[in-house]
Amino acid sequence: MLSGTADPEAMAASAPYVAAPATEPLVCHGAELLQLVYQVDAHTRQEVLPPALHPVNPPVITVSVLRAAESDAGPFTLAETRVVCRSGARGRGFHVSGFIDGEEAARLLAQRWGYRTRPAAVELRLRHHGATAEVREAGRALLDARLLDPVPLAPADIQFTDSMHLARTPRGNRLIQVERAYDITAARRGRPVLAAFEAAGWGEPRLRPSHPISAVALTGDVVFRPVRYLCRADVSASEGTERIDHA
């Protein structure tokens, strides 16, 4: 099985510091989400992951934008990019970076779940004829994502993988397993279009989207669950997984 070859120490140099992983959920009522899946160049698929994670074939990334008009941390809109991978035998997404509109949510997500984000103008629009999402930082377009030609999709047909976020913790550098629960009220799939994706602006210029795979848009309640697991980033999940006891 292939493993990531990136240096976890170097990757963690700019990672958030999580003194105490989340013990309470962050609930987002009536949220909206757009997610695109794109294949990326294969020759760097190991170089963008730490040794604890394993690349998939073909190598793909997810680009998602979540708009939470009502949450425990106030309104926010979060855009993030993940590298699809595996932790042991389980499918996961390695959090590369994100952008967020919402100061309180940015602080909470960084300090409790290890979200690596920067402030930016993040917008998401779901309409009957499709969906669009944009990220702008200092006037520069870092993302222009679209779902075209939408058709209804049964909520039960949608599944999302958990994320792995590299963070600095009192235990050392760790991958935080971030789990989100979805109570979907409406969903659609459609044709994905990345009109703009500035990989360097997302912190990983080697992620160059090549072929579109899928796009989905939904509305419903989204819950960031309390953290249950940490993993060492330098060894496999079978060796380095640590369960958190919230008692």
Overall pTM surpassing 0.85 (yes/no): yes
Specify if 193 maps to a domain: yes
CA 21, 28, 194, 196 torsion: positive or negative?
negative
Q: Is the dihedral of CA 204, 208, 211, 212 positive or negative?
A: positive
| Nearest alpha carbon to residue 94 among 197, 205, 231 | 231
For position 139, what pLDDT does the model report? 87
Q: Could you read off the pLDDT tens digit of each residue along the chain, which spans 247 residues?
A: 899 999 999 999 999 999 999 999 999 999 999 999 999 988 899 999 999 999 999 999 999 999 999 999 999 999 999 999 999 989 999 999 999 999 999 999 999 999 999 999 999 999 999 999 999 999 899 999 999 999 999 999 999 999 999 999 999 999 999 999 999 999 999 999 999 999 999 999 999 999 999 999 999 999 999 999 999 999 999 899 999 976 5
Q: Is residue 242 part of a domain?
A: no
- The pLDDT assigned to 246 comes to 64
Q: Residue 159 falls within a domain, yes or no?
A: yes
Q: Work out how many domains the chain is built from and give that number.
A: 1
> What six digits make up the tokens of 111?
């300090």
Domain CATH number, residue 156? 2.40.400.10
- Does a structural domain hold residue 3? no
SS3 assignment, position 179: coil
- The reply to whether 49 falls in a domain is yes
Task: Specify the DSSP class assigned to residue 237.
Answer: H
Residue 73: count other Cβ atoms within 10 Å of its Cβ: 19
List C-alpha distances in Å: 157 to 12, 35, 60, 78.
35, 14, 20, 24
C-alpha distances out from residue 82 to 68, 95, 186, 211, 223, Å: 19, 4, 24, 16, 18
Q: CA–CA separation, 173 vs 11, rounded Å?
A: 10
- The torsion angle over the Cα atoms of residues 222, 228, 233 and 239, rounded to 10 degrees, is -140
Residue 30 placed within a domain: yes
Residue 42 has a pLDDT of 85
What are the C-alpha distances in Å from 233 to residues 5, 54, 110, 165?
11, 11, 18, 10
pLDDT attached to residue 247: 54
Indicate whether 244 belongs to any domain: no
The strand pairing partners of 242, in sequence order, are 230
Domain with 124 in it:
8-235
What pLDDT, on a 0 to 100 scale, did the predictor assign at position 43?
87
In a domain, 74, yes or no: yes
Distance between CA atoms of 198 and 208, rounded to whole angstroms?
Answer: 9
